Structure formats: C-alpha cells, structure tokens
Amino acid sequence: MKDLRTGLTRRRLLGTAIGGAAAMAAFPSWAQARTLNILSHAVHERVLGTAEGDLLAEWKAANDASLSFTTFDSNPLQDRLFREASLPETEYSVGYLIDNRPTSDIAALFEPLGPLNDANPIEDFGDIAPGLIQGMTVDGNLIGIPVRHATQALFYNEALLEEAGISAPPQTLEELVEQANQLTFTSSAGTPVTGMVLASDLAVFPVMFARAFGGDFITHDFQLVPDRAAMEQGLSVLRGLFEAGALPRSYAATRNDDMVTWMQQGRAAFTVLPFARFAQLNNPEQSNFAGRIKAIPFPGSSTLPAGTPMSAVVEAWAMVIPRNATDKELAWSYIREVASKRVTLGMALNGNGPVRVSSYADPALMQANAVAEIEAAVLADARGAFPPFPEAARAQATMLEEVQLAVLGRKSVTDAVGAIIDRVGPMMPA
C-alpha cells in the first residue's frame, strides 16, 4: 500500500527506518558520549567560556564528553552539594566547595584527592598557592583542588571622584567615609549617586570594616569578636554611612550583582568586590564607565599603628568529588584540565581569580588586568571571613541579622554587637 503523502510503500518505509537505525549504529560516539554533571555557581561555568572561546573544547572532544552545570547562589549551592553527597549515590560527579565549609564531617563526604593526584598528577601542582591548598586539606586529606579565589578590593569610579573635585582615592578608612559622603550627590549626567553600595547578605563587608580597626568576627583559632570595640567601630561606620545617605536606602535588599550594576551605571562611587570583577566593571559593552573604574586595597583606619597590615577577606572555591559520585574517573580528568596552567590563565583572562602564582606574572594577564600586581600584594595578607565549623552558616546568618538591625538604626550598635556575641557564642565549637 502506498502512502499518498510520501509516495513510499509500506515496505520501502520500513526499509528506510531500518537503514536509519543502522546508520545511527555506525556512529557509536553518539551513544557512548558521557555527560559530567556539575554543581557550581554560575560564575564557574561562565569563566570557562562559551562557543569559540570554550576553554574545554579540546578536552570535551578528547573525552567524548559534555558538561551539564546546575548552578545556584553560594549558600543554596553548598546546601545542595552536601545533600547530594549524603545520598547513597549522586549523579553529580564534581561540586564546587567554599573554603569556609569543610568541617571534618563535611570533608568525609568527599573523595580524598591525594591518591588521585599521585597516580595522575595535576600539572605543576606546587604552583597553586599553598595557602589555598591548606584551606582544602582537612584531617590530613586533600579534598578539593582550588579553582578560584575572590580577594576583596575597594573599587572606585575615577570619573565621579574627579567631578567631585577629589584628586586621589582614599588611603585610610576615615578618608573613605569622607569621600563617600561627598560623593553622595547628583552627577552632571543627572544620575543620583550613592557614595558606596554594599550588599547586606554577605559577612565580607562587616568583617572588612571590623578589620579596618584591628578587629574580627571569628579568628582562625575560634575567638568570637576578639576586639569588641573594633567591631563596634566598624558597624558604627556602616551605620553612619547609611544615616548620611551614602549607602542605598535599599541596603537591606541589596545583593552582590546589584553592586556591579550600580558601579557600571555610575549610581555608586565606591564598592567592595573581588579584584576579579575588574574586567566586568570595565567591560565597554556593559559599563558606562569602562576604563574609569579602578581598584585599590581596602584601607585600614588611621588609628591603627603604622605598618599594621589590613587583612582583606579572601574566599576560595575548590573542585571536589563526592565519595558517592558515579563517574570519578571523568571527574578527576575534568579537575586536572581546569587546574592546568592554560585553563587557569584562560579563566583569569575571563575574570576569574587565578589560584596559580605563575598566572600573576603572565604578560597576557598583566596586560589584560591592570590590578594583577595589586591583587597579588593584597592576597599575601588576606584571610577568610571566618574559619569552617559545623554552625558556620547559621553563625554568619545570625551575625548579618544583627548587623542589618544596627545599620538600619533599629538597634544600637552596642546592643547588636552584644547580641552577636550572645547568639553566636553557643554555636561555636567547643
């Protein structure tokens, strides 16, 4: 019987279908291609490039593999990663872990990578910053390979400073406050400018302001608010900026990406972001002030003794393999490739914070990143916002809750710092 629409007989149609199946079988790579499922933040996928700029194009071809990223913001990502790693089996063979999370219990969820590195080593492993490696070594086991660090810088809009008659960026915290207040104005373009924009949902910012006075939130040896007066001074500065209008009225709802947008649009004169954001902030396709947004070390208070280093906050990410992962061989191959010198440099040119010492001396990076030398110097004294411990996420959320109340004027700074100590204290490790 002939199909009147195609002119094919039933027998010819059946033969065509069989022939098509045979043709499919002639290309086994289609059926054998593997997919590596990855849990990450969107930035980790973005810095690997796309299309013609895909840094892993050759690796994918050589391994007949594709990558499937599932992305979340930082805290939801860590929660999902830990849940997946706690199951009998997970389809995610690579995850991205933040350095302040791996307690002993959490570290036990992930594959020790030392034996894998001994058997099939990462290129020039000693070139990766030792401090970042230490942050991913728990109970003597290396559980993660550092892939990105975010060392905080003070960014400023040079054009807005010039418009306000300011000839140089601040060298002390007191100068920063003075300039931020002065730069809370309407620019010549008619744009309302806020002196500084900061997100309210990250511990980075109150910790930086406390450190500017020699204080801290939690030290590496688990001292909670070791210098109460310094913490109160830091929060008082933030509250003063908000009261003066030099922080956005929407401070409580401001998030990390908002800070980037405000700087690109000239709606803020200062912000605190990782050095790695320099390229994005100055991208001519995104920024109204390409080439005019600069970065310097975050300044300490003039009240600190001369020569006291300002310890900026650094956050590091590492690639891990859940112990219950289904394809550890492909996962390690991916990690080795991403950790290579070539890909590390490529990611750095795409805005990633390079974990290799050699990357900072590379002419291509120095030409593309005008702040590479400054970033390397700041990284030398930088440390994490707080050390990992079981209740770290809850401690951070509690601290931020009290900080918001203080900044918004709903609680006195003294009471807020007291509440941080009282509420976080029971969460601290024994």
Instruction: Show the domains of the chain with their CATH numbers.
Output: 33-150+315-379 (3.40.190.10), 151-313+385-427 (3.40.190.10)
Asked if 226 and 219 count as a contact pair (C-beta separation under 8 A), the reply is: yes
Model confidence, pTM:
0.75
Task: Say whether pLDDT at 30 is over 60.
Answer: no
Q: Are strands 141-142 and 137-138 parallel, antiparallel or unpaired?
A: antiparallel
Task: Say whether pLDDT at 159 is over 80.
Answer: yes
What is the distance between the alpha carbons of residues 185 and 167, in angstroms, rounded to a whole number? 17
Confidence of residue 150 (pLDDT cuts 50, 70, 90): confident
Task: Say whether pLDDT at 7 is over 60.
Answer: no
Give the pLDDT score at 392. Answer: 87
What is the distance between the alpha carbons of residues 336 and 18, in angstroms, rounded to a whole number? 42
pLDDT in tens, 168-183: 999 999 999 999 999 9
Task: Say whether pLDDT at 424 is over 60.
Answer: yes
Task: Say whether pLDDT at 16 is over 60.
Answer: no
Of 363, 209, 421, 218, the C-alpha closest to 298 is 209
Of 342, 355, 281, the C-alpha closest to 314 is 355
